[in-house]
Copies of this chain bind each other. A is one copy, B any other.
């Protein structure tokens, strides 16, 4: 049984977190976050596929590859990417954090988010680190979730509890991401925690699969960041239930499946929150393509619709201009027979088998005006499907990105 609980990344047992000010954000808001596991933990990571990768990504990849860690330090306001001394500064964040926590450097991951190409004033982080350590507490998740925000309008966190016969196991998560959000790591930064015990290979496999079905199904603007990082810690502090996922237990496979679903629940929530909070967004949009010949075709059509500026501005304008949906589907690089295609906006069928279906404009407009907009395209060519989350495209997207001065 899965139920939602409060507490974010520190809801699972044996985690503490904090969020403090180090002065990287000119607003003076929280901009340095720390998440720590009290006990040694397995860790898995999924990182940006962008060919340009920030120094903290390169560094955290190494830690995640070894599979064991105790802490992650986050800063917002500077991506520490393609900037002078970027790798030296990322290493300094790692070693300073390790020293402040009494850990070795290899146990610390580093994440940065913000503007690219400006040298990170790393001393600000060094100076603020003792306070970040002092503030570490079980109730610190909300501060941490707030400290990693950039153009996000609200923090994004969740936790769930899975009840096993031996007792509860928990999964928590937080993320940030609002622009430069696209296929293949749809968030700039996300951190998940669980008090289950899992070996790194099992953890890695679970995280990679979940990412594929959740964060990688979000696109705000088609731009993939240089800093995207998704981390999952598993510290085994759940008590007797922690070991319910071992390979040598008869119910191990079933329990891993339940844990997978808990992690997927957390990631689905966070991924949808990213789309809903897309820069300037007024609506969450779910594009579902069904009846595709294969998974790649479903994915290509769904992503092309979800990234179409014409579709996204039509949604903002509450204009059921389905011709744009169809035109986007037609340019997705997938063989497509309009005579087999059906398009629905919410529950309203607007196009069926090559022809417009007369509909009450108010009904379709209402579907486009809802806080969550569903677009469904059936290609009539097979049985594969895909679902992509995005948002509408608004004046505020332009304002945020035209005024986001370096």
Interface residues, chain A, CB within 8 Å of chain B? Answer: 49-53, 79, 81-84, 115-119, 179-180, 182, 184, 221-226, 307-310, 313-314, 316-317, 319-324, 326-332, 334-338, 350-351, 354-356, 361, 393-395, 397-406
Asked whether A323 and B81 contact (CB < 8 A) given A50-B330, A309-B397, A328-B223, the answer is yes
Considering the complex, give the chain B residue whose CB is closest to the CB of A401.
B313
- Among residues of B, the one whose C-beta sits closest to the C-beta of A334 is B51
Knowing that A115-B321, A221-B308 touch, tell me 6 more A-B residue pairs with CB under 8 angstroms. Answer: A50-B330, A222-B309, A223-B328, A319-B403, A320-B406, A395-B395
Which residue on chain B has the smallest CB distance to residue A310? B223
Most chain B CB within 10 A, of A119, A226, A332, A402, is at A402
Q: Could you jot down 18 A-B contacts, CB within 8 Å?
A: A50-B327, A52-B338, A82-B323, A84-B355, A116-B322, A117-B351, A118-B356, A179-B310, A180-B327, A222-B307, A223-B308, A223-B327, A309-B393, A316-B398, A317-B405, A319-B402, A319-B404, A319-B406
A330 and B51 within 8 A (CB): yes
Interfacial chain B residues near A405, Cβ < 8 Å: 317, 319, 321
A308 to chain B, nearest CB (A): 6
> How far in angstroms is the closest Cβ of chain B from A9?
27
How near does chain B come to A164, taking the closest CB pair, in angstroms?
41
Q: Are B324 and A223 in contact (CB under 8 A)?
A: yes
Pairwise interchain contact A224-B327, C-beta atoms closer than 8 A:
yes
Tell me the bound Cα distance from A171 to B182 in angstroms. Answer: 44
Top 9 A-B pairs ranked by shortest CB distance? Answer: A116-B323, A317-B402, A52-B330, A313-B401, A224-B331, A51-B336, A50-B330, A51-B330, A117-B356
Please report the C-alpha to C-alpha distance between residue A322 and residue B179 in the assembled complex, in whole angstroms. 16
- Measured between beta carbons, the chain B residues less than 8 angstroms from A53 are 330
- Interface centre among A324, A361, A404, by most chain B C-beta atoms within 10 angstroms, is A324
- B82 close to A402 (CB less than 8 A): no
Q: For residue A355, which residues in chain B have a CB less than 8 angstroms away from its CB?
A: 82-84
Report how far A331 CA is from B50 CA in the complex, Å.
Answer: 5
Q: Which B residues lie within 8 Å of A321 (CB)?
A: 115-116, 404-406
Name A358's closest neighbour in chain B (CB-CB).
Answer: B84
Residue in B83, B184, B310, B401 whose beta carbon sits within 8 Å of that of A317 in the complex = B401
Residues of B within 8 A of A319 (CB): 402-406
A339 → chain B closest CB, angstroms: 10
Q: Which of A83, A119, A351, A398 has the most CB of B within 10 A?
A: A398
